[in-house]
Chain A
Amino acid sequence: MTQQIDPLALAGAKPKGKRPYFLEDTDAERVMAITMAVAQELAVMRERLDTVERLLESKGISQDDIESFVPTPEQADQRGAWTQEYLARIMRIYQQEIEALDQPNEPSSEEIGHELAES
């Protein structure tokens, strides 16, 4: 009875029966599935934050306090820096594509590998 169950591995298991895809491009459907899971987690976070705000309200910090909050210049800078870092992570693929524009003939690792394997 002490057999281990790994929820990470098993929670998302495929049900028996071939999965149907509906969109013309199955890749678009994969991206939709991932996006909706992320949307779900955002709602989960929003509900948690709502709980925190309402608990704070019961401790004397009102919704108005939150709405009218103005960060100090130092706090605003920290927030701005966080948002920049956040966007840089999300937008990495564009950054790298733009950097590659300067090197239209850049060889791939496979091509370099062939070169390095030549005697």
Chain B
Amino acid sequence: MAETNAHSNYDGPPDYRLVGEHGMFPKTTHDEKARFNFLAHLNRHLASRVLPGVKTAYETRIEPNNPAPNHRNQVRKALLKDPLFQHWSAQRRNTMELRQQAGRWVTLRQAEELNERARELTEGDDRLQLDPSVELPSYLSKIDHHCMPGSYHDEIVPGDVTGAANYDCGIFVTTGGGLGRFNDGGGQAVVAWMKENRPDFAPKRILDIGGGLGQNVLPIAQAYPDAEVICLDTGAPVLRYGLARAKLMGVENVRFVQANAEDLSMYPDGYFDWVQSTMFLHETSVKAMPKIMKESHRLLAPGGIVMHVEQPQYDPDMPLYEQAIRDWDAFYNNEPFWTKLHELDLDQWMVDAGFKREELLHGGVAAVVDTELFPEHGTDEVEDYGRKAAWHIIGGEKKAA
């Protein structure tokens, strides 16, 4: 692993060689590492050097000609006519496509080794519970989220894990290392919140819905080693990769279960003490959310906690310009539900799912990373809207009867 210079004034993405290379992590050549470095810097440059100019352009030459907008869509449509917004958008979209291509090149060229390693590690292990009868919900089948070809579920060959490996090795680029060495800054942040706010909480069973390859649930499983933890997702490749990755990272108390979070009837009422989702709800739909939230409430034991972690809601205090920029990923980075989710009254949805108002939890968390090596996003002044590694919590605590 590379070293860092603690005395440097350097303020930018860390070197890619600092990422944590667990045993499932794809091997990267010098050029492939350099490519990820360049793309992390390119994203950082667009956020820190170009996006502020878009705001200036909005204030000086767009807003005066489009006074008093009453909705973020009006702001976005006005922005779309401005050359600087056009160029920032074209660059941001292209950078995401370059990142996907770079990561897919890394993983596809070593597909056989990756798939074989995952097979060896998961075959016969009952902690991988795949269910081919699980149907892909339309919010996942209609579009590839964040321009990731094949999304979390496609298999190029039987037993394929390359899509998951691509996600794992390339997300560094999108956040400039803001999620930490093992892309688990979100999960670490959730653990830190729980330890601070509920120091005596001792969950026996924990469910992470839409957990993907488990990057955010592993810190939870490590913090509560006696708990039985389930990482739930509809995508077989991420679950397969996830179990292999967890084992190689020495985390043994997580099961990886293929299921749709809208219907978890295989688990009885009150089965879990903690139901968690981390950056998951924005990849669902208005039809799915009530089912997911009702299931989460039903599955919760008395005294248990549901916690959803997302980017902040578009409350009335948030300027329409900021809302429009935050909406960019919804319209131009294949996150179609992002815009609707962020205008919903999530408190009301939690109440409709069965929580009492006084049981609701709110809070804010920022990625917890090894700050010797990685940037700390909680104190970072550069705001790459929608991608900053700092989030809001909306939760519910089922009071003991």
Contacts and interface: CB of A to CB of B under 8 A. Distances in A.
Interface string B70-104: 00000000001001011101110111011011001
A44 B34 CA distance: 5
Interface string B347-388: 000000000000000000000000000000000000000000
Say what secondary structure dominates the interface of chain A. Answer: loop
A84 interface: no
A20 to B, nearest CB: 5
B144 interface: yes
A90 to B, nearest CB: 22
B241 to A, nearest CB: 16
A22 B80 contact: yes
A29 B90 CA distance: 7
A21 B331 CA distance: 11
Given A5-B156, A11-B104, A32 B91 contact: yes
B61 interface: no
A37 interface: yes
Contacts of A37: 98
A103 B129 CA distance: 73
A111 to B, nearest CB: 38
A119 to B, nearest CB: 52
A11 B37 contact: no
Contact of B104 (A10, A20, A39, A44): A10
Contacts of A71: none
A5 B104 contact: no
Given A1-B115, A17-B144, A51-B30, A32 B149 contact: no
Interface string A1-34: 1110111001111111101111110000100110
A85 interface: no
Nearest to A47: B34
Contacts of B313: none
A19 B111 CA distance: 27
A39 B162 CA distance: 27
A13 B95 contact: no
A3 B157 contact: yes
B51 to A, nearest CB: 14
A43 interface: yes
The number of chain B residues touching the other chain, given as a range, is 35 or more
Interface residues of A, number: 32
A14 B260 CA distance: 26
Contacts of A48: 30-31, 34
B296 interface: no
A15 B149 contact: yes
B144 A16 contact: yes
B149 A13 contact: yes
Given A16-B143, A22-B86, A23-B90, A43 B34 contact: yes
Task: Give the one of B33, B34, B85, B149 with max A CB within 10 A.
Answer: B34
A36 interface: yes
A40 B38 CA distance: 6
A11 B101 contact: yes
Nearest to B162: A5
A119 B158 CA distance: 60
B35 interface: yes
Contact of B159 (A1, A7, A10, A43): A1
Contacts of B34: 43-44, 47-48
13 contacts: A3-B158, A5-B162, A13-B104, A15-B143, A15-B144, A15-B149, A17-B334, A19-B93, A22-B85, A36-B42, A39-B38, A48-B31, A51-B30
Given A15-B147, A36-B91, A40-B42, 20 more contacts: A3-B158, A5-B156, A7-B104, A10-B108, A10-B149, A11-B104, A12-B101, A15-B100, A16-B144, A17-B142, A20-B332, A22-B85, A22-B87, A22-B90, A24-B83, A32-B90, A36-B94, A43-B41, A48-B30, A48-B34
Across the A-B interface, give the 7 residue pairs with the lowest CB-CB distance, nearest first: A15-B144, A47-B34, A7-B108, A43-B38, A11-B105, A17-B143, A13-B149
